[in-house]
Amino acid sequence: MAKKYVAGATSDIAEGGSKLVTLAGRDIGIYNVAGSFYAFADRCPHAGGSLCEGFITGIAVSGGPNDYRLERKGEFLRCPWHGWEFDIRTGQSWCDPNSMRARKFSVKVEAGADLAKGPYVAETFEVKVEGEYLVIEL
């Protein structure tokens, strides 16, 4: 049976930022892209690098030589080990989207008042009634 884990307060992660949490022994990176939250196992599917330690950036695209454009700024992760790029909204790698993707977890934003009814697991901090929290089910 899945358990609800409170990974932190929404205010912990600014837009364009990320936070690495450990829930039930798993390292999970949570990302705030323009106010929406996404979570992935912090383990690059290619060779196991920590995605949370990589750059959050855009995707370089081109119509041909000497045409350089950075699009979708803040929507891609670049693994610090080998440079693989992942779409934060889907977890799919840019180069091999169908077979290489970061393991995704769904993140919900829940009000502290609702969470207080339980049950939930908050391993490292206290949930306050007036706050908004990031909840991941594992």
| Residues facing 92 on adjacent strands | 101
Question: Please, what is the minimum distance in Å from the beta carbon of residue 16 to other proteins?
Answer: 19
Residues in 83-102 that interact with other proteins by CB under 8 A: 83-85, 93-96
Question: Please, what is the minimum distance in Å from the beta carbon of residue 34 to other proteins?
Answer: 22
Local structure of 53: helix, strand or coil: helix
Q: Provide the CA 29 distance to its chain's centre, in angstroms.
A: 5
Task: Retrieve residue 57's tokens.
Answer: 């950036």
Q: Say whether residue 73 binds other proteins (CB under 8 A).
A: no
Single out the segment in contact with other proteins by CB under 8 A; choices: 33-41, 77-85, 109-117, 119-127. Answer: 77-85
Q: Say whether residue 120 binds other proteins (CB under 8 A).
A: no
Residues 3, 30, 19, 127, CA torsion sign: negative
Among 68, 99, 118, 130, binds other proteins (CB under 8 A): 68
Element (H, E) at 112: helix 112-115
Single out the segment in contact with other proteins by CB under 8 A; choices: 1-9, 11-19, 58-66, 127-135. Answer: 58-66
The residue among 11 and 66 lying less far from other proteins, judged by its C-beta, is 66
Question: Please, what is the minimum distance in Å from the beta carbon of residue 43 to other proteins?
Answer: 17
Fill in the amino acid letter for 38. Answer: Y
CA angle in degrees (0–180, nearest 5) for 88-78-75: 30
| Residues facing 133 on adjacent strands | 9, 110
What is the contact surface with other proteins in residues (CB under 8 A)? 46, 59-69, 82-85, 93-96
